Every structure is written in structure tokens, then in C-alpha cells.
């Protein structure tokens, strides 16, 4: 059986459906990304799968156990790093790890050696005596990961683990995750960062609790209809505003210093783009077709569910 499997999993809070009929499966030893904007239902899905809350309907199995019938068996076999992982600021790095080892019932025999290995793995060995409250954001995330791994789980849930962390620390954190794959650990990661989604073996795009698309990043990119035109000009933000107001049948997104236009009629849209910008006194450096990024696809898939962009 797959380490994670859901069938029509649903969770309601009164009139709000946070997770809506979700069906997916995760294979052993893969990084599976749950991708969506704030409020998409990512954290609620995590809490259901880690038995923090019960589903309203549907079923799910984690590590071979039913989340409703066997929650205790699941908790013994998984690691869970929530958005606000509970590190204790007045305890040292080592003492935090000792605390979680006690919670998970890690045997005393061999515990110190395991903790040393996890400190080396997470690059925290030089900081073992530093209070957790004095760690940087990236180091706190690494300590949270080490604590979640203290009992050697085979399934690890990470809820937006790099949210608010600087780009260098995010990169280092993902290097650690890739190392876990060699040990056949199954990783279920939620993220709002589309560049992180590109690093996953497979992803599920969700919004308002509903599954929009699932597959490898390349497979998900293929669901996008039409083409992407990339516009380069001196003031991309102003250009994006003008194009949004006048290109009613195309999707317009701002990507740094460039504007991306999603259109099903690129040959007609390109001269329209040039005309709109030139009419408003903006010099156009270039308009060219490009391969869609995962972010382009996500925006295009998301737009119909939210009434446009």
C-alpha cells in the first residue's frame, strides 16, 4: 500500500469546506508537494493526515493505517513539522532534541549517537549548546527537522517548512530533504512557493480545498491551454496594469521585471500588446513566446475558479 492515500477526503467547518473530496496517493520514497495559495486547504489536509483532526467524510490511510480508526499507530510512524514547530527558546539545541526524543520514546541506548548524526546531517553540530531562541530562522527550521526525525519516521509531513526563511536557508533546507530520499523516507510537503514545487517528484495543485491538477511538474505544465508571451519593457508593473485592463481574453501576470501573457491566440495577441503599450508611450523591448513556468500554469488554472486574474 502507498504510504499516503486518500479517498474523497473532506473536512467542513460549518458552511466552509476546507478540504473538498480530495483523492490522491503518494508513493514510497518520493517528495510530494501540496501546492496552493493561502487558504487553499493545505494545512487542514496536513492536520487530517497527521490525525490532529478528524475528517467530516471520506477516508485516508497513512503508513498502512486508517486515520480515523488507528490514529495512535500513525503517530508512532510519522514525523510532523507544522508551520509553527514548537521549539523551546530557553532550551539549547541539544536539549530540544532530548525533549522530543523523550516524547517519541526513543530508547536511551544509542540516543546520543543518533542525535549526533542528526546534528551533523542538519549542520547544527557547532550550535548544539546554543539556545534555540538565539538561532536564525533557517537554523530553527533545521532544528525542527532534526527533532521531527528523532524517532526515524518513514513518512514525514512538512507544512510550509520554509515560509519566511531567506532564499539561501531555503536552498540548504531542500538539500537536506533530498538526502532523506536516499533513506526511503516519504516526504509530504506543502508550499506556496512555485520554485519549490518544481523540486518535487510530483505535485497536487489545490485551491479552496479542491484538487485542480496532479502529476510531475512537467506533466502539470502540459495541462495549460494556449501559449505564454513574455513582454520586456522599461516599466513592467505599469505595462501589466495596462494590459490587464485592455486584454480581456488573456491572462496577465507580473514576473519580476517581465510581464507574462497567457493567450490561446498568440499571433493576434502579440500585435495587440505592442499597440497598447506604444499607444501609452511605452517602448517595447521584445514580445516573444516562452515555455510556461509552473507559476504560469498555476495562475492560469486558478483564474477560472476565482473569476479572473
Q: What is the pLDDT of residue 302?
A: 67
Based on the fold, state whether residues 83 and 209 are members of the same structural domain: yes
- For residue 302, is it within any domain? no
| Mean pLDDT (whole number) for 1-18 | 96
- For residue 157, is it within any domain? yes
Whether the per-residue pLDDT at 299 is higher than 80: the answer is no
Last residue of a domain, one of 196, 221, 246: 221
Which DSSP symbol is given to 134? G
Whether the per-residue pLDDT at 183 is higher than 90: the answer is no
Based on the fold, state whether residues 173 and 274 are members of the same structural domain: no
Whether the per-residue pLDDT at 303 is higher than 60: the answer is no
**What CATH number should be reported for the domain holding residue 87?**
3.40.50.300
What is the Cα–Cα distance from 75 to 297, expressed in whole angstroms?
35
Q: The whole model's pTM is what?
A: 0.85
- For residue 212, is it within any domain? yes
Based on the fold, state whether residues 67 and 108 are members of the same structural domain: yes
Based on the fold, state whether residues 190 and 276 are members of the same structural domain: no
What is the Cα–Cα distance from 185 to 180, expressed in whole angstroms?
6
* Bridge partners for 284 per DSSP: 233
φ/ψ bin of 210: left (φ > 0), alpha (ψ from -120 to 50), beta (otherwise): beta
Based on the fold, state whether residues 163 and 71 are members of the same structural domain: yes
- For residue 286, is it within any domain? yes
Give residue 145's domain range. 4-221
Q: Closest Cα to residue 281, out of 252, 230, 239?
A: 239
What is the Cα–Cα distance from 185 to 235, expressed in whole angstroms?
46
Whether the per-residue pLDDT at 113 is higher than 70: the answer is yes
| Mean pLDDT (whole number) for 87-99 | 96
Based on the fold, state whether residues 19 and 93 are members of the same structural domain: yes
Based on the fold, state whether residues 259 and 142 are members of the same structural domain: no
Q: What is the pLDDT of residue 170?
A: 87
Whether the per-residue pLDDT at 309 is higher than 50: the answer is no
Based on the fold, state whether residues 216 and 269 are members of the same structural domain: no
Helix (H), strand (E), coil (C) string for 216-284: CHHHHHCCCCCEEEEEEECCHHHHHHHHHHHCCCCEEEEECCEEEEEECCHHHHHHHHHHHHHHCCCCE
Q: How many domains does the chain have?
A: 2
Based on the fold, state whether residues 136 and 273 are members of the same structural domain: no
Based on the fold, state whether residues 8 and 139 are members of the same structural domain: yes
Amino acid at each position: 500500500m502507498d504510504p499516503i492515500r486518500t479517498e474523497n477526503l473532506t473536512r467542513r467547518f460549518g458552511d466552509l469546506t476546507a478540504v473538498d473530496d480530495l483523492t490522491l496517493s503518494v508513493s514510497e520514497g518520493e517528495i510530494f508537494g501540496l501546492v496552493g495559495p493561502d487558504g487553499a486547504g493545505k494545512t487542514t489536509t496536513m492536520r487530517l493526515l497527521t490525525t490532529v483532526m478528524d475528517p467530516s467524510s471520506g477516508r485516508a490511510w497513512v503508513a498502512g493505517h486508517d486515520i480515523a480508526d488507528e490514529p495512535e499507530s500513525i503517530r508512532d510512524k510519522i514525523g510532523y513539522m507544522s508551520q509553527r514547530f514548537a521549539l523551546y527558546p530557553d532550551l539549547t539545541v541539544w536539549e530540544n532534541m532530548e525533549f522530543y526524543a523523550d516524547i517519541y520514546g526513543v530508547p536511551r541506548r544509542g540516543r546520543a549517537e543518533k542525535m549526533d548524526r542528526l546534528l551533523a546531517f542538519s549542520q547544527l553540530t557547532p550550535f548544539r549548546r546554543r539556545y534555540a531562541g538565539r538561532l536564525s530562522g533557517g537554523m530553527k527550521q533545521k532544528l525542527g527537522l532534526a527533532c521531527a526525525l528523532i524517532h526515524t519516521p518513514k513518512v514525514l509531513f512538512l507544512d510550509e517548512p520554509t515560509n519566511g526563511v531567506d532564499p539561501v536557508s531555503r536552498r540548504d533546507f531542500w538539500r537536506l530533504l533530498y538526502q532523506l530520499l536516499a533513506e526511503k523516507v516519504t516526504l509530504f510537503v506543502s508550499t506556496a512557493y512555485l520554485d519549490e514545487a518544481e523540486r518535487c517528484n510530483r505535485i497536487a495543485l489545490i485551491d479552496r480545498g479542491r484538487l485542480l491538477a496532479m502529476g510531475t511538474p512537467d506533466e502539470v505544465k502540459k495541462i495549460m491551454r494556449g501559449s505564454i508571451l513574455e513582454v520586456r519593457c522599461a516599466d513592467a508593473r505599469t505595462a501589466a496594469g495596462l494590459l490587464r485592463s485592455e486584454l480581456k481574453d488573456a491572462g496577465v501576470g507580473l514576473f519580476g521585471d517581465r510581464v507574462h501573457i497567457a493567450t490561446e491566440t498568440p499571433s493576434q495577441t502579440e500585435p495587440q500588446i505592442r499597440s497598447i503599450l506604444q499607444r501609452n508611450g511605452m517602448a517595447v523591448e521584445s514580445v516573444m513566446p516562452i515555455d510556461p513556468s509552473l507559476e504560469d500554469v498555476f495562475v492560469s488554472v486558478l483564474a477560472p475558479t476565482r473569476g479572473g486574474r
